[in-house]
Amino acid sequence: MSLIFETIQTEGLAEISYLIGDDEEGIAAVFDPRADVDVYVELARAKNVAITHIFETHIHADLVSGARELQGRVDSAKIYVSHEGGARYGFENEKVSDGDAFKLGSVIITARHTPGHTPEHLSYLLADSEHPEVPWGVLSGDSLFVNSAGRPDLLGEKETGKLAAQQFHTLRDFYMKLPDSVIIYPAHGSGSPCGAEIGDRLNTTIGYERPLNPFLQFKDVESFTRFAVSTAPPI
C-alpha cells in the first residue's frame, strides 16, 4: 500500500489543507478545502485516486470552505463535519463524533473532539492500519499551531472564557498526552489571525512544541486565559 500525503498552501490566508489517500486502493480524502477546489481535483487526477471523503475540522471564521464546491466536482464524495458542541449545518452531511474512525487504505484516521478555538472543533489522528494504536500524525486544524494555538475569542466576549478553558484542557489533556514523535499538521501557518505569532514552518512535532510553545506552559486556566486573550492578533 502506498500513502499519498499532499500539503496545499493558500497564499494570503496562510491556510493549509491536505489531500491524504492510498494509490493502491485509489481513494483519497481532503481536509479543510479552500474555496478554489481545482487544486484538489487536479491532484487527485495526477495521483489516479478518487476523492471519497471531504472533512472539515471546524466551522471556519476566516475563509470560505470549498467543501460543497468540491463535492459538486467529484463523484460520490461525502462531507464529514463535527456534530460535537451543538454544531448545526445548512447542508447534507455525515456526522462525525469523538472516536469515530475511517480507513483510507493504509491509513486509519480517528476523530478527536478538541474544543477551544470553536466548540465543535475536531482534530484527526493519523496511524498506519497495521498499528492503529500508535499515531504518527495529527491534523490539528485551528487547535494547535507551530509555536501557537487557536485563539478562543472569535465567538464574542460571552463565549471567550468558556472556550479558553476548553482550549486549555484540549492542549493539556489531549495534545500533551500524545507521543513526542507525533507530527502536527495545522490548518494555518505564519501570518494567520487565527493564532498569535504562528511559526514559519508548515508542521512540527509534539516533542518540539512541548517545551517551546508558549501556550503549553501554563498550569492553570486563569493564567492561560489571560495570555490567550491578550496575545490574540487584531481581527
* From 71-80, 82-91, 149-158, the region with the lowest mean pLDDT: 82-91
DSSP of 14-73, one letter per residue?
TEEEEEEEETTTTEEEEES--S--HHHHHHHHHHT-EEEEEE-SS--SSS---HHHHHHH
pLDDT, residue 135, reads 98
Which class is 3-231 in CATH?
alpha beta
How far apart CA 169 and CA 171 sit, in angstroms, is 5
Higher confidence at residue 92 or residue 195?
Answer: 195
Mean pLDDT value of segment 90-114: 95
Burial class of 2 by CB neighbour count within 10 A (0 to 12, 13 to 18, 19+): exposed
Cell readout for 41 is 481535483
Of 6-15, 58-67, 196-205, the range with the highest mean pLDDT is 196-205
Q: At 86, is the pLDDT very low, low, confident or very high (cuts 50, 70, 90)?
A: confident
The span from the CA of 141 to the CA of 24, in Å, is 27
Could you state, in order of their start, the residue ranges of all structural domains in the chain?
Answer: 3-231
77 burial type by CB count under 10 A (0-12 exposed, 13-18 middle, 19+ buried) = buried
Q: For position 90, what pLDDT does the model report?
A: 80
Helical pair 221-231 and 157-173, crossing angle rounded to 10 deg = 120
Q: Sorting pLDDT into bands at 50, 70 and 90, what band is 91?
A: confident
- The mean pLDDT of the chain is 95
Residues facing residue 149 across a β-bridge: 144
Please report the pLDDT score of residue 63 as a whole number: 66
Q: Pick from 119, 18, 118: which is nearest to 66 by CA?
A: 18
pLDDT band at 5 (very low <50, low <70, confident <90, very high): very high
At 218, the pLDDT band (50, 70, 90 cuts) reads: very high
Q: What pLDDT is recorded for position 62?
A: 62
